Protein backbone atom coordinates (compact mmCIF):
# COMPACT_ATOMS: atom_id res chain seq x y z
CA UNK A 1 0.00 0.00 0.00
CA UNK A 2 1.02 3.59 -0.64
CA UNK A 3 -0.33 6.14 1.84
CA UNK A 4 -0.57 9.58 0.23
CA UNK A 5 0.20 12.87 1.96
CA UNK A 6 -2.07 15.84 1.24
CA UNK A 7 0.70 17.81 -0.46
CA UNK A 8 0.82 15.34 -3.36
CA UNK A 9 -2.95 15.63 -3.85
CA UNK A 10 -2.85 19.41 -3.61
CA UNK A 11 -0.03 19.72 -6.15
CA UNK A 12 -1.94 17.36 -8.45
CA UNK A 13 -4.84 19.85 -8.50
CA UNK A 14 -2.97 23.17 -8.21
CA UNK A 15 -2.09 24.13 -11.78
CA UNK A 16 0.10 26.98 -10.50
CA UNK A 17 2.41 24.60 -8.62
CA UNK A 18 5.77 23.73 -10.21
CA UNK A 19 5.07 20.14 -9.07
CA UNK A 20 1.60 20.04 -10.64
CA UNK A 21 2.28 17.92 -13.74
CA UNK A 22 4.53 15.44 -11.94
CA UNK A 23 2.13 14.91 -9.02
CA UNK A 24 -0.93 14.82 -11.29
CA UNK A 25 0.65 12.18 -13.51
CA UNK A 26 1.89 10.11 -10.57
CA UNK A 27 -1.51 10.21 -8.83
CA UNK A 28 -3.44 9.38 -12.01
CA UNK A 29 -1.11 6.42 -12.63
CA UNK A 30 -1.55 5.30 -9.01
CA UNK A 31 -5.34 5.52 -9.25
CA UNK A 32 -5.23 3.40 -12.40
CA UNK A 33 -2.69 0.92 -11.04
CA UNK A 34 -3.04 -2.26 -9.03
CA UNK A 35 -1.45 -1.24 -5.73
CA UNK A 36 -3.72 -0.12 -2.89
CA UNK A 37 -3.76 3.64 -2.34
CA UNK A 38 -4.29 4.73 1.25
CA UNK A 39 -5.99 8.08 1.76
CA UNK A 40 -6.34 8.63 5.53
CA UNK A 41 -9.06 11.00 6.72
CA UNK A 42 -6.45 13.53 7.79
CA UNK A 43 -5.12 13.61 4.22
CA UNK A 44 -8.58 13.90 2.67
CA UNK A 45 -9.71 16.63 5.05
CA UNK A 46 -6.47 18.56 4.54
CA UNK A 47 -7.09 18.42 0.77
CA UNK A 48 -10.61 19.84 1.20
CA UNK A 49 -9.48 22.46 3.73
CA UNK A 50 -6.52 23.75 1.73
CA UNK A 51 -7.89 23.44 -1.81
CA UNK A 52 -10.89 25.60 -0.88
CA UNK A 53 -8.80 28.28 0.83
CA UNK A 54 -8.16 31.34 -1.39
CA UNK A 55 -5.02 32.15 0.62
CA UNK A 56 -3.53 28.74 -0.18
CA UNK A 57 -4.84 28.08 -3.70
CA UNK A 58 -4.58 30.71 -6.43
CA UNK A 59 -7.80 29.31 -7.95
CA UNK A 60 -9.53 27.63 -4.99
CA UNK A 61 -12.04 24.88 -5.51
CA UNK A 62 -15.57 25.23 -4.26
CA UNK A 63 -16.32 23.07 -1.24
CA UNK A 64 -18.74 21.04 -3.35
CA UNK A 65 -16.10 20.43 -6.05
CA UNK A 66 -13.45 19.42 -3.49
CA UNK A 67 -15.91 17.01 -1.86
CA UNK A 68 -16.85 15.58 -5.28
CA UNK A 69 -13.16 14.92 -5.99
CA UNK A 70 -12.74 13.13 -2.65
CA UNK A 71 -15.89 11.07 -3.29
CA UNK A 72 -14.56 10.03 -6.71
CA UNK A 73 -11.30 8.87 -5.12
CA UNK A 74 -13.16 6.91 -2.46
CA UNK A 75 -15.24 5.19 -5.16
CA UNK A 76 -12.08 3.70 -6.70
CA UNK A 77 -11.68 0.00 -5.84
CA UNK A 78 -7.98 0.28 -4.95
CA UNK A 79 -8.46 3.30 -2.63
CA UNK A 80 -8.86 2.59 1.06
CA UNK A 81 -9.02 4.80 4.12
CA UNK A 82 -6.41 3.34 6.47
CA UNK A 83 -7.53 3.80 10.04
CA UNK A 84 -5.53 3.98 13.22
CA UNK A 85 -5.42 0.58 14.87
CA UNK A 86 -4.25 -0.79 18.18
CA UNK A 87 -0.58 0.01 17.47
CA UNK A 88 -1.20 3.56 16.27
CA UNK A 89 -0.67 5.38 19.55
CA UNK A 90 2.53 3.54 20.57
CA UNK A 91 3.94 4.10 17.06
CA UNK A 92 2.89 7.74 17.01
CA UNK A 93 4.31 8.44 20.44
CA UNK A 94 7.55 6.69 19.53
CA UNK A 95 7.89 8.84 16.39
CA UNK A 96 7.08 12.06 18.28
CA UNK A 97 9.68 11.33 20.92
CA UNK A 98 12.41 9.92 18.67
CA UNK A 99 12.13 12.70 16.09
CA UNK A 100 11.64 15.36 18.80
CA UNK A 101 8.74 16.93 16.96
CA UNK A 102 6.22 19.43 18.28
CA UNK A 103 3.55 21.79 17.02
CA UNK A 104 2.46 21.28 13.40
CA UNK A 105 4.83 18.34 12.86
CA UNK A 106 2.79 16.26 15.32
CA UNK A 107 0.36 15.60 12.46
CA UNK A 108 3.31 14.42 10.36
CA UNK A 109 4.20 11.95 13.10
CA UNK A 110 0.58 10.74 13.10
CA UNK A 111 0.61 10.21 9.32
CA UNK A 112 3.95 8.40 9.63
CA UNK A 113 2.44 6.17 12.32
CA UNK A 114 -0.54 5.31 10.07
CA UNK A 115 1.86 4.32 7.27
CA UNK A 116 4.07 2.31 9.64
CA UNK A 117 1.13 0.53 11.23
CA UNK A 118 -0.09 -0.58 7.80
CA UNK A 119 3.38 -1.48 6.50
CA UNK A 120 2.91 1.14 3.79
CA UNK A 121 5.13 3.50 1.89
CA UNK A 122 4.34 7.18 2.41
CA UNK A 123 4.12 9.25 -0.77
CA UNK A 124 5.02 12.85 0.01
CA UNK A 125 7.12 15.74 -1.27
CA UNK A 126 7.77 16.90 2.31
CA UNK A 127 11.37 16.22 3.33
CA UNK A 128 10.47 16.56 7.01
CA UNK A 129 9.28 12.95 6.93
CA UNK A 130 12.90 11.76 6.68
CA UNK A 131 13.15 12.29 10.44
CA UNK A 132 10.82 9.38 11.20
CA UNK A 133 12.51 6.03 11.85
CA UNK A 134 11.60 3.06 9.69
CA UNK A 135 9.34 5.01 7.35
CA UNK A 136 9.52 4.07 3.67
CA UNK A 137 9.18 7.16 1.50
CA UNK A 138 8.30 7.89 -2.11
CA UNK A 139 8.64 11.39 -3.57
CA UNK A 140 7.01 11.57 -7.01
CA UNK A 141 8.98 14.74 -7.82
CA UNK A 142 12.35 12.99 -7.46
The verdict on 13 and 68 lying in the same domain is: yes
Q: What is the tally of structural domains in the chain? A: 2
Task: Tell me which of 57, 80, 103 is where a domain ends.
Answer: 80
- Spatial CB neighbours of 65, under 8 Å, sequence gap ≥ 6: none
| Amino acid 3: pLDDT | 98
**Mean pLDDT calculated for residue range 115-142:** 96
Residues 18 and 43 in one domain: yes
Q: Which domain holds residue 126?
A: 88-138
Residue 86 burial (10 A CB sphere; 0-12, 13-18, 19+): exposed
Note the pLDDT of residue 80: 97
76 and 13 in a single domain? The answer is yes
What phi and psi values does residue 24 have, to the nearest 5 degrees?
Answer: -60, -50
Residues 38 and 59 in one domain: yes
pLDDT exceeds cutoff 90 at 1 = yes
Last residue of a domain, one of 46, 64, 80: 80
Q: How far apart are CA 34 and CA 75, in angstroms?
A: 15
pLDDT digits (tens, 9 = 90+) for 12-51: 999 999 999 999 999 999 999 999 999 999 999 999 999 9
Band of pLDDT at residue 90, cut at 50, 70 and 90? very high
Computed over every residue of the chain, the mean pLDDT equals 96
CATH number at residue 121: 3.40.50.1010
Residues 64, 99 within the same domain: no
> Which pTM was predicted?
0.94
Question: Residue 137 pairs with which residues in a beta bridge?
Answer: 122
Average pLDDT score over residue span 75-86: 96
Task: Indicate whether 70 and 39 sit together in one domain.
Answer: yes
Amino acid sequence: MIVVDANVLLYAYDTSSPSHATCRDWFNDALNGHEQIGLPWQTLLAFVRISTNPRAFRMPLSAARACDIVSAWLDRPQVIVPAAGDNFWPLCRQQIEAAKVSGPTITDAALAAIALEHGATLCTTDRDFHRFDGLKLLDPTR
